[in-house]
Amino acid sequence: MGLGGGDYSVPEIRRLLQLVGRDAAHLALHLHWSLWRRQHQWQARQAHIRRRTRQLATACLPDASLDLPTPLAIAGLPPLTPLRWARIVRLLPSERTAGRPYRQHRQTIDAMLWVMTAGTSWRQVPPAFGPWQTIYSRFQRWQREGLWEQIRRILLS
């Protein structure tokens, strides 16, 4: 597949066949638009492939979890001691045993604290913590339920 966008799709051929018999200016306009659209789609596909390749290369790094910053070193927050963790774990909902594998609460809270430490977006959560969507949705749910506020108070106590 070259820079022209490659082969014409069946819908594209149908659109171009409908132009048979039209004036030259109308035909030229549609041919130009068709070429631009296929080039744009080709460039978007190449960018998508490059991004996915970078993501896979990052996810497959050996010992990626060893390079994670400690999520416990947040300015203004004391370390998450075993005593504080014991107080927090009592507040958390029980972990499911059926359905999808449930992400451990400690790992999820560490990921949430990592996002706050690093000041990054949820999408940049390192793969060692698990899927960013899981961490983000749990954070949102806990915030709606008022659970995150209770966790924050324990961390600040």
pLDDT digits (tens, 9 = 90+) for 29-81: 888 888 888 888 888 888 888 777 776 666 554 444 444 444 444 555 566 77
Whether residue 33 is found in the same domain as residue 52:
yes
pLDDT digits (tens, 9 = 90+) for 78-92: 667 788 888 888 888
Letter string b/e over residues 12-46, b meaning 16 or more CB atoms within 10 A of that residue's CB: eeeeeeeeeeeeeeeeeeeeeebeeebeeebeeee
Q: Considering the domain boundaries, does residue 105 fall inside one? A: yes
Angle at the Cα of 131 (from 120 to 76), degrees rounded to 5? 40
- Residue 24 structural domain: 10-59
Q: How many domains does the chain have?
A: 2
Q: Considering the domain boundaries, does residue 108 fall inside one? A: yes
